[in-house]
Chain A
């Protein structure tokens, strides 16, 4: 059976198993659990004390608590990843055995936050060597050991990037002559025009 929220693939066995774990807590508590999981996915952190309180009535052990958080994380992020609308998600989850009240609660939370979720997922997509800071300075060289009267402007560019493999900040300093800089600027403006045409 193929499910849209699983990317048109079969639903993983563990997800199927943990959906029955979710059915053990009340639908109200499950909706609150969804809220916690969504906060975690959006980078606001998860409050494990609240999670423990929500699952205390159903006497969840540590393993069950982790499994519930994991299955909700999977369902919500996978649905956002594949841009599933909340009605399709609702029908697919009910097919997998999640009770109607639980499904309604989950899908409402999903609908509220799915745009924010997709934005967050877009931000965390693979990017290599992000440009963090650009700073520059224009100097005027008066004289040098080679030539007494140089009289030339140069640009010093300091580029702070995030290393592609290490993830640490790397700093590159380049000095560019006026002519070279003109060429650089023209080419970059052409690239910018192309990017704008695409958006």
Chain B
């Protein structure tokens, strides 16, 4: 990306494309359109944009300070205006880029909805005159991609009580001093 002073204009354009690509994914047609508009060839545009995307994601990922960013960019041998432009691009977009990067972690299916039903089994083919209560549950789950699934579970009241007690113990953990200490330090 070294050359005449029109670099600033080029970088501004590349920067805009880079951020758009980080938001919505790459689109090779854009390279050709930009190449024509800026009178350079498409491959140069692609390398430029990809280089900028890498610079932005790495800087945002590590949340580096302005000083460190300047020091890192200095080695590339650009003009001072260009360095400043790149820094502006980084600072303005890093919060959004960090948010996008945060969504890339693998995630487990999470709770969406729970339907339940209380039944009493009165008879079966093998045995009449029974009284057997059961709780039937349908646990609806959702993945980060939007895929939905459901699991059907059945239990007797005693096991359900035990399940509730275990879950309440898990919630109570949040209130212990150990947990509070850690949460305080993270925030």
- Which chain A residues have a beta carbon within 8 Å of chain B's beta carbons? 125-128, 164-167, 187, 191, 194, 198
Q: How many B residues are at the interface, by size bracket? A: 10 to 19
Max chain B C-beta neighbours (<10 A), residue from A126, A127, A164, A165: A126
Name the contact of A125 in the complex, choosing from B117, B122, B137 (C-beta under 8 A): B117
Number of A-B contacts (CB under 8 A): 26
Q: Is B23 an interface residue (CB 8 A)?
A: no
Please give, as numbers and ranges, the residues of chain A lying within 8 Å of B138 by CB-CB distance. 126, 128, 165
Given contacts A126-B116, A128-B138, contact A164 B152 (CB under 8 A): yes
Whole-angstrom distance between the alpha carbons of A191 and B124 in the complex?
8
Q: What is the CB-to-nearest-CB distance from A133 to chain B, in angstroms, rounded to a whole number?
A: 22
Whole-angstrom distance between the alpha carbons of A114 and B149 in the complex?
32
Listed A/B pairs (11) with beta-carbon separation below 8 Å:
A125-B117, A126-B117, A126-B136, A126-B137, A126-B138, A165-B138, A165-B150, A165-B152, A191-B123, A194-B122, A194-B123
Q: What is the CB-to-nearest-CB distance from A166 to chain B, in angstroms, rounded to a whole number?
A: 7
Given contacts A194-B122, A194-B123, contact A126 B150 (CB under 8 A): no
Whole-angstrom distance between the alpha carbons of A165 and B153 in the complex?
10
- Once the chains bind, are A165 and B115 in contact (CB under 8 Å)? no
Whole-angstrom distance between the alpha carbons of A81 and B37 in the complex?
65
- Which chain B residues have a beta carbon within 8 Å of chain A's beta carbons? 115-117, 122-123, 125, 128, 136-138, 149-152
Q: For the complex, would chain A's binding face be called helix, strand, loop or mixed by DSSP majority? A: loop
- Once the chains bind, are B125 and A187 in contact (CB under 8 Å)? yes
Residue in B closest to A127 when the chains form the complex, CB atoms: B117
Known pairs A128-B138, A187-B125. 9 more at Cβ < 8 A? Answer: A125-B115, A125-B117, A126-B117, A128-B136, A164-B152, A165-B149, A191-B123, A194-B123, A198-B122
- Once the chains bind, are A167 and B150 in contact (CB under 8 Å)? yes
Please give, as numbers and ranges, the residues of chain A lying within 8 Å of B117 by CB-CB distance. 125-127
Whole-angstrom distance between the alpha carbons of A194 and B125 in the complex?
11
Whole-angstrom distance between the alpha carbons of A140 and B151 in the complex?
41
Please give, as numbers and ranges, the residues of chain B lying within 8 Å of A194 by CB-CB distance. 122-123, 128
Residue in B closest to A129 when the chains form the complex, CB atoms: B152
Given contacts A165-B150, A167-B150, contact A126 B122 (CB under 8 A): no
Given contacts A126-B115, A126-B117, A194-B122, contact A165 B136 (CB under 8 A): no
Please give, as numbers and ranges, the residues of chain B lying within 8 Å of A191 by CB-CB distance. 123
Please give, as numbers and ranges, the residues of chain B lying within 8 Å of A165 by CB-CB distance. 138, 149-152
Q: What is the CB-to-nearest-CB distance from B162 to chain A, in angstroms, rounded to a whole number?
A: 22
- Once the chains bind, are B125 and A166 in contact (CB under 8 Å)? no
Whole-angstrom distance between the alpha carbons of A187 and B137 in the complex?
28
Please give, as numbers and ranges, the residues of chain A lying within 8 Å of B136 by CB-CB distance. 126, 128
Residue in A closest to B137 when the chains form the complex, CB atoms: A126
Please give, as numbers and ranges, the residues of chain B lying within 8 Å of A164 by CB-CB distance. 152
Please give, as numbers and ranges, the residues of chain B lying within 8 Å of A187 by CB-CB distance. 125
